[in-house]
């Protein structure tokens, strides 16, 4: 949030401009919630008796035409021993295809409602300078991911969907309140007081799932221009997954290649040299080559 550069030298317009991805992300997150809520409670329709967006993030249908489903949830249900119906398979493939293109963890930064809570916790944490109480590996989430798949098989129910704070929060916003908000409060306190980026960066199996999905195929990535980078480290300070900004590796690859990058766009406005920018992957090498060329000429 306010991790974004507050350079005193910048004018108001430039300062606002530096917040562009933050604003867009919030618009996206709240907008998606609003579409679900409006269709469920205010009868938003595209035509008579065709609701705009029914369901929730687990499975939904847009304008009566486009089915969507959470592929992770569908996978768990499949492992739990249920033969999936065509609609949910098609929906899961559509969603999977989308995130394969834009990067799996785009879900985390641009869609997931829990991100609103964890971002707030992180902002407060920075504000008050709260230190971490415990440390454990960020790879824990992959074990949680594996555990949720194994448990789905053993228990015969979709293991993560039955305890998911994401699902609880999202459902209860749309379909009525319950104790799910306690889970959300727990995540908030955990991220605020115990471990920085504790939930999204260490535990969440859905984030781990999307990290795996986006690893190789993501076409929207942050380009890294090694010629202009001064290694000031501002990007790593604002990044919720700073391990993806291993500059030595980035110099070789030319872009932020890790599946754990959520394309949140915090690093791009904050870089004083403009070395980090969103780009389409096929263009990245050409753009980097161009930048190198410029460097050589000068």
291-296 LR contacts (CB < 8 Å, sep 24+)? 291/225, 291/227, 291/228, 292/227, 294/227, 295/227, 295/228
Interaction of residue 113 with other proteins, rule CB under 8 A: no
Interface segment toward other proteins; rule CB under 8 A; list 81-89, 94-102, 187-195, 207-215: 81-89
Asked if 114 contacts 184 with a C-beta cutoff of 8 angstroms, the reply is yes
Asked if 21 contacts 266 with a C-beta cutoff of 8 angstroms, the reply is yes
Print the SS3 string covering 239-291.
CCCHHHHCHHHHHHHCECCCCCCCCCCCHHHHCCCCCEEEEEHHHHHHHHHHH
The minimum distance between CB 261 and other proteins, in angstroms, equals 27
Size of the site for other proteins (CB under 8 A): 51
Q: How far apart are CA 85 and CA 99, in angstroms?
A: 22
Nearest by Cα to 207 from 128, 148, 266: 148
Q: Which of 30, 31, 87, 230 binds other proteins (CB under 8 A)?
A: 87
How many residues in total does the chain contain? Answer: 298
Q: Which of 5, 29, 58, 225 binds other proteins (CB under 8 A)?
A: 58
- Give, rounded to a whole angstrom, the gap between the first and last alpha carbons of the chain: 37
| Nearer CB in complex with other proteins: 19/181 | 181
Interaction of residue 276 with other proteins, rule CB under 8 A: no
Interface segment toward other proteins; rule CB under 8 A; list 15-23, 56-64, 209-217, 268-276: 56-64
Interface segment toward other proteins; rule CB under 8 A; list 126-134, 171-179, 190-198, 243-251: 171-179
Interaction of residue 259 with other proteins, rule CB under 8 A: no
Q: Which of 3, 61, 119, 225 binds other proteins (CB under 8 A)?
A: 61
The minimum distance between CB 57 and other proteins, in angstroms, equals 8
Nearest by Cα to 108 from 197, 36, 217: 197
| Nearer CB in complex with other proteins: 104/167 | 167
Q: Which of 157, 212, 247, 253 binds other proteins (CB under 8 A)?
A: 157
Interaction of residue 91 with other proteins, rule CB under 8 A: yes
The minimum distance between CB 44 and other proteins, in angstroms, equals 11
The minimum distance between CB 278 and other proteins, in angstroms, equals 32
Interaction of residue 30 with other proteins, rule CB under 8 A: no
Helix and strand counts by DSSP (H, E) for the chain: 15, 7
> 68: which strand partners?
60
266: exposed, middle or buried (C-beta count within 10 Å: 0-12, 13-18, 19+)?
A: buried
Interface segment toward other proteins; rule CB under 8 A; list 24-32, 94-102, 121-129, 148-156: 148-156
Q: Which of 11, 47, 85, 296 binds other proteins (CB under 8 A)?
A: 85
Interaction of residue 59 with other proteins, rule CB under 8 A: yes
Question: How far is it between the farthest Cα atoms of the chain?
Answer: 64
Computed on alpha carbons and rounded to an integer, the radius of gyration of the chain in Å comes to 20
Q: Which of 32, 112, 151, 270 binds other proteins (CB under 8 A)?
A: 151
Task: Enumerate binding residues for other proteins (CB under 8 A).
Answer: 39-40, 51, 54-56, 58-61, 67, 69-70, 73-74, 77, 80-85, 87-88, 91, 143, 147, 150-151, 154-159, 161-163, 167-168, 171-172, 174-180, 182-183
């Amino acid at each position: 949030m306010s991790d974004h550069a507050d350079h005193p030298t910048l004018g108001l317009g430039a300062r606002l401009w530096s917040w562009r991805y933050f604003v867009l992300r919030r618009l996206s997150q709240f907008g998606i919630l609003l579409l679900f809520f409006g269709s469920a409670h205010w009868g938003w329709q595209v035509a008579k008796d065709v609701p705009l967006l029914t369901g929730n993030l687990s499975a939904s249908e847009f304008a009566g035409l486009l089915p969507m489903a959470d592929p992770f949830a569908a996978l768990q249900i499949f492992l739990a021993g249920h033969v999936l119906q065509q609609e949910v398979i098609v929906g899961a493939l559509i969603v999977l295809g989308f995130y394969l293109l834009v990067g799996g963890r785009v879900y985390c930064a641009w869609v997931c409602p829990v991100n609103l809570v964890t971002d707030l916790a992180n902002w407060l944490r920075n504000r008050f300078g709260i230190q971490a109480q415990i440390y454990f590996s960020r790879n824990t989430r992959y074990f949680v991911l594996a555990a949720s798949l194994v448990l789905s098989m053993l228990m015969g129910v979709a293991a993560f969907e039955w305890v998911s704070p994401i699902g609880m929060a999202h459902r209860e916003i749309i379909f009525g309140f319950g104790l799910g908000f306690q889970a959300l409060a727990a995540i908030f306190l955990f991220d605020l007081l115990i471990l920085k980026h504790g939930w999204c960066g260490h535990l969440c199996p859905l984030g781990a799932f999307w990290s795996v999905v986006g690893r190789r195929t993501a076409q929207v990535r942050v380009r890294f221009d090694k010629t202009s980078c001064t290694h000031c480290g501002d990007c790593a300070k604002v990044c919720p997954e700073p391990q993806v900004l291993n500059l030595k590796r980035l110099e070789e690859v030319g872009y932020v290649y890790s599946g754990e990058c959520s394309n949140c766009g915090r690093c791009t406005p904050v870089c004083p040299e403009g070395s980090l920018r969103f780009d389409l992957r096929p263009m990245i090498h050409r753009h980097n080559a161009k930048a190198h060329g410029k460097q050589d000429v000068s």
